[in-house]
Every structure is written in C-alpha cells, then in structure tokens.
Amino acid sequence: ETGVTQSPTHLIKTRGQQVTLRCSSQSGHNTVSWYQQALGQGPQFIFQYYREEENGRGNFPPRFSGLQFPNYSSELNVNALELDDSALYLCASSPRPSGSQGEQFFGPGTRLTVL
Amino acid sequence: ILNVEQSPQSLHVQEGDSTNFTCSFPSSNFYALHWYRWETAKSPEALFVMTLNGDEKKKGRISATLNTKEGYSYLYIKGSQPEDSATYLCAPILTGGGNKLTFGTGTQLKVEL
C-alpha cells in the first residue's frame, strides 16, 4: 500500500508568482485535505476535496484554489504569492469525507518559500 | 473559530522521565479528538483517535485520556526515550465538520540522554 506523497519537497518563488503543489492520496482514499503550517503554528485547514468537488473550506482567500482528479490525486494552486504564504503545505487523504472518526493520513509536506 | 490550546509549548526531559501534555478544546459539538506525533522531516503520524468521554487509549509507553464534558485530553509518555522526541499535536473534530482537523500549536518534546 502506497502512502501519501507530495511534490515538490521544496520550492522557492517570488512575490506575485503562482505555484502548484501536488499530492497523491493513499490507495483507496477518495478525500484529500490541504493544510498550511506557518512558522510557530499548528497546521491550518485550507480546503478538502471529495470526488473532484470542493467539500469544505477554511479561512483562506480565493487565490488559494485546488483540483482533484479522477484518480483522487490533488493539486493546490496559489496565485499572486505573498511573503506570508511561506509555509509548509501538508496534504492528507482519508477514505471518506466524514465518519471513520476522521482518520487522515498525511504526506511529508512541501516547503514553500516566497521571497 | 475553534480554539485549541496545547501546553506546555515545549518540554525538555531526561531519558527515563515520564511526562504529560494537555490539549484543551471547546466541549460543544464534539465528535472526535486526534493526537498526532510529528518527527522532524517526516509526515505527521496518527497516534490516537478518541471519541468517548472517559476514553483511554494506549500504545506502548504512550497513553491518552479524554474528558469531553470539560474539554481536555492528556497525553502521557512513560519512561521517555530519545526516539520520543517529536512535536505532539492534538486536533478535535466537531460534529458536521466534515473531518476538518483543527490543530493546536503542539508540544515540542526533546528527550535527552
């Protein structure tokens, strides 16, 4: 069974640029959630995708957007990057969007630095 | 906004010491509480999922208790070892929250020889 993978591992961008981060969910999981962990904070929920549709969103502006593909892999896109977007971005997959006591499996994260 | 507090923020103990951390959360609309262990440069790893008031879970030297009425959970580590060094995060899920985890800032544990 393959775990959750994310790419790239590290990324450096400049202000105003756009970035795409990728996540492959664990086999058999149809739900992917994205989290942002800024320095000194716990991971903050960005949004969740279930069967290619957004299924809940945290307190993030519209320039944070996502996609989920038929194979349940997912992308997180951030437009017009700001310095405060520098963070570790985690994705987590789960077998369904609710129930199962919310068990989620995390990838190792993508470290984004915005200069 | 769900307020989740963890204490202490960081902890240094000697090998063999026992230690415990606290996670506080609002008790209304509670569905489940997750504890994660996160070693540097690795993925957060699920330790426990707790749902019932009075629940107690154990995995080796690590155990956790849950009080949903007063809104807290304790994580205990007995006989700490250097490999226990990690950040320990708690995350409650509310009813109707759609498996959205709301994390605390974590307790960073360092176990020294």
Tokens of A5: 């993978």
**SS3 at position A81:** coil
Residue A10's alpha-carbon distances to A35, A51, A86, B49, B52, in angstroms, are: 16, 28, 11, 30, 39
The span from the CA of B80 to the CA of B20, in Å, is: 10
What does the pLDDT read at residue B37? Answer: 97
Which DSSP state fits A70?
A: T
Q: What is the DSSP string of A30-47?
A: -EEEEEEE-TTS--EEEE
The pLDDT tens digits of the residues spanning A54-94 come to: 999 999 999 999 999 999 999 999 999 999 999 999 999 99
The span from the CA of B101 to the CA of B92, in Å, is: 6
Which runs of E-coded beta strand occur in chain B? 5-7, 10-14, 19-24, 30-38, 45-50, 56-59, 62-67, 72-77, 86-94, 107-112
Q: Going edge to edge, which strands form the sheet with A5-7? A: A5-7, A19-24, A74-78, A64-68
Residue A1 predicted with pLDDT over 70: no
What does the pLDDT read at residue A100? Answer: 66
What does the pLDDT read at residue B63? Answer: 97
The pLDDT tens digits of the residues spanning A21-57 come to: 999 999 889 999 999 999 989 999 999 999 999 999 9
Contact A33 B42 (CB under 8 A): no
Tokens of A42: 């716990």
Residue B52 predicted with pLDDT over 90: no
Contacts with B98 from chain A: Cβ below 8 Å: 48, 55-56, 97-98
What does the pLDDT read at residue B96? Answer: 77
Contact B34 A43 (CB under 8 A): no
- How close is the nearest chain B Cα to the Cα of A107, in Å? 5
- The residue among A58, A6, A4, A8 whose CA lies nearest residue A31 is A4
What does the pLDDT read at residue A9? Answer: 96
Tokens of B46: 């699920």
Residue A101 and residue A37 in contact, taking contact as beta carbons nearer than 8 Å? no
Contacts with B42 from chain A: Cβ below 8 Å: 108
